[in-house]
Structure 1
Amino acid sequence: MRSGRNKQAALCIALMALFLLSACGSHTGLAGTSSTQGSNTISVVAAENFYGSIVRQIGGKHVSVTSMLADPNVDPHSYESNVDQVKAVARAQLVIANGGGYDDWMDKLLSSTPSSERKVIKGFDVAPNKLPDNEHVWYSPDNAKNIASAIADTLKTLDTAHAAEYAQNLIIFERELSKINQKMDEIRSKYANAPVGLTETILRYQTGPMGLRVLTPDEFQKALAEGNDPPANTVITAENQINQRQIKVFIYNQQTQSAITTKLMSDARARNIPVVPVTETMPPDQTYQSWMLTQLEKVEQALASNK
């Protein structure tokens, strides 16, 4: 354990990091969520709330989790930490982030609150299935399975007394996770090769396994995912695909809308093309599995309504 003086020094450094991060642009702050089980629990910080959901399911009553990015109505690429969140990172025994360039701000918080005892898991590093230039690895249920396994192994290391419980909770998690793959298989069996439009790359981890044919230019999706304006020719292509009804469903990222995506959504609705929202972070009062299943069901319903 670190001495009280070292803890105070780490906290001071963390608070300095807070002000440095807050000064980098005028971004909207995202309120985190936390669950406190007791003083004997493992203190966990999840950069994103979907990872918070996974660790809660596996850790159960033995973990206290703070999720930083927890608002599905705000662009997760813009982040501004607050004092409580910086303190949570400073005292965390386990930190779970995505990595892969998605949440580099967490690296700054970790480096500014050093701890030799803290464990860190990055979903991108653990995920076996990575698409090119696409850090949204949590959208793959197979990746989520591997990440959950890494979380269970780490909790067993931190708390050997409850290792059997973590193992059992992992089995339960995987059982619920299998329902996502089942739903994706159902959609594939009914709608394989159906043409769809995407505003961003986040759903590519699911459209591929479902056999859906994404027509929207890759450059368009990547530009929006990175917060940039897409090339003009790709915008024209996306507009033509809607105006000529070349796609069956238009799927957009609800958290990173722009004037371009708003117009495309309006055009799609005007031509009776179903519009389906998806989010990068999990809505409140859901689990990772229920979130993914709800979105997939909406995609399925949209495809069924526009055969």
Structure 2
Amino acid sequence: MNKFKKISVFFIISSILLIITGCSSKTNNPKKSINVTTSLNFYGEVAKDVLGNHGSVTSIINSPNVDPHDFEPKSSDAKDVSKTNIMVYNGLGYDSWAENLTSNNKNIKNINVGKLMNKSSSDNPHIWYNIDTMKKLAYKLAKQFGQLQPQNKKAFEQNAKNYVKKLQPVEHKIDNIKKSKINKPVAVSEPVFDYSLDKLGYSVADKSFEEAIEKGNDPAPADIRQLQNDIKNHKLAFFVVNKQVNSKIVTNLTNLAKNNHLRIVYVTETKPENMKNYIKWMDSQYDEVLKIQRNNRLK
């Protein structure tokens, strides 16, 4: 996916918002249902679990075929956001359009997940691959919901704890992978899975290569040669490939990896349609790493 493109419809969105914000003024009435909007569906999952039956959650991007970087909100999206109490978006330049949707409405509380994780604009935006992000977001949402509905504060706090508890099997799998990790670095096609790799204890061998692909640039010939040599000389534990990106360079390297019996972990930037939820999505990708490590021990 091409990264960090400026959204050409900013002024259109602003015009829509100027029209609709005049009729969207609201107060924090504790009797009112809480309305939450999230830019991405996996953040919506957290919000739904924490909110329970005390409101509604709308996720603007629900399809894995939509590139969040290049997404152009419709007028209906702006109208939905105008009715919301809390807007959750990734930040870090990943979904700038979501922040723009709320820029003219002071009644909406924004949760910038990147800032919540103390990240800056130059950091890797794929922060949902750090499971701590989801835990921290759950507790942040519970706090915000409790301010809107003080009478349900304890319920929101318990819901957040219950959601975090559901993440524990994934955390245990991460710990098991780290304990038996292969003592080699990994190569990646782009930095989608990097936060997970850090949790698993793996280092990335091709930083310059992945950054070039991430930004839509051609990697330097020297970086390509180095990666080719690492694959041929069996210096890597495995190769992580974002299968949602169509790149001739990456395809050629993937074929080279297969020909040299280097195992590949396929990941996606957005939650696949066949995955029930965020937890199943993460779990399936960690399972691929576990399989590689088990096969390595059997050699």
- TM-score interval, smaller chain: 0.7 to 0.9
Tell me the alpha carbon deviations over residues 32-62 of structure 1, each in whole angstroms, 9 at most, x when there is no partner: xxxxxxxx64221111111111111111222
Which stretch of the first structure deviates more once superposed, 69-78 or 173-182?
69-78
Q: Do 2:36 and 2:85's aligned partners in 1 also have CA atoms closer than 8 Å? A: yes
CA RMSD of aligned residues (A): 2.6
Return the match for 1:46 from 34, 38, 45: 38
Distance in 2 (CA, whole Å) between partners of 1:220 and 1:57 is: 38
Return the match for 2:49 from 28, 52, 57: 57
Which stretch of the first structure deviates more once superposed, 94-103 or 250-259?
250-259
* Identity value in percent: 30
Whichever residue aligns with residue 37 of structure 2, its letter is: V
Return the match for 1:265 from 254, 259, 262: 254
Please list, as runs of the form range in 1=range in 2, the aligned pairs for 1:23-172 lying within 5 A after superposition. 41-111=33-103, 114-128=104-118, 133-172=123-162
SS in 1 for 2:167: helix
Q: Do 1:128 and 1:143's aligned partners in 2 also have CA atoms closer than 8 Å? A: no
1:297 positional shift = 1.1
Return the match for 2:230 from 209, 234, 241: 241
Distance in 1 (CA, whole Å) between partners of 2:185 and 2:294 is: 13
1:293 aligns with 2:295: no
Return the match for 1:190 from 177, 180, 189: 180
SS in 2 for 1:280: coil
1:12 positional shift = 8.2
SS in 2 for 1:108: helix
Tell me the alpha carbon deviations over residues 166-224 of structure 1, each in whole angstroms, 9 at most, x when there is no partner: 111111111112222211110011115333211112222121221123222x1111122
How many aligned positions are there? 274
Return the match for 2:272 from 278, 283, 301: 283
The TM-score, its normalising length taken from structure 1, stands at 0.80
1:16 positional shift = 8.8
Whichever residue aligns with residue 170 of structure 1, its letter is: A
SS in 1 for 2:178: helix
Query: Unmatched 5+ residue regions in structure 1?
Result: 1-9, 18-39
Over 4 Å off, 4+ runs: 128-132
1:152 positional shift = 1.1
Distance in 2 (CA, whole Å) between partners of 1:16 and 1:241 is: 55
Query: Unmatched 5+ residue regions in structure 2?
Result: 1-11, 20-31
The TM-score, its normalising length taken from structure 2, stands at 0.82
Distance in 2 (CA, whole Å) between partners of 1:230 and 1:133 is: 19
1:249 positional shift = 1.5
